[in-house]
Structure 1
Amino acid sequence: QIKDIRERTDDIIEEKRIANEWRFAAIVVDRIGLILFSAIIVITSLTIALRAPYLVA
């Protein structure tokens, strides 16, 4: 009976460890997406602003 409790506890610990790994992976992917999105917005905004004829003249 104690063996069953220990196995269940080990399973729960393993599930939590795996969940934390997936959470970390999701945070990394989310951060990369944020950086790419921000870079695209900044580059696009600068490109549009610098190509405006009334700013150059």
Structure 2
Amino acid sequence: MKYDYLIVGSGLFGSVFAHEATKRGKRCLVIDKREHSGGNVYCDHVEGINVHRYGAHIFHT
């Protein structure tokens, strides 16, 4: 399969870039070392509540 973009990292920028590129008809492959997308803005769902796994590091990286 061919892609227009290979995006390394599914953090905030990588995820938004892939979303916007896909809206414009581009094919993207996103890879990340973590098991989830979203990077430091990822939330766990605990008993119906969104819990920031990475706490105060959301916008300090």
TM-score, scaled to structure 1: 0.26
More helix by share: 1
- Structure scoring higher RCO (CA < 8 A, sep ≥ 6) equals 2
TM-score, scaled to structure 2: 0.25
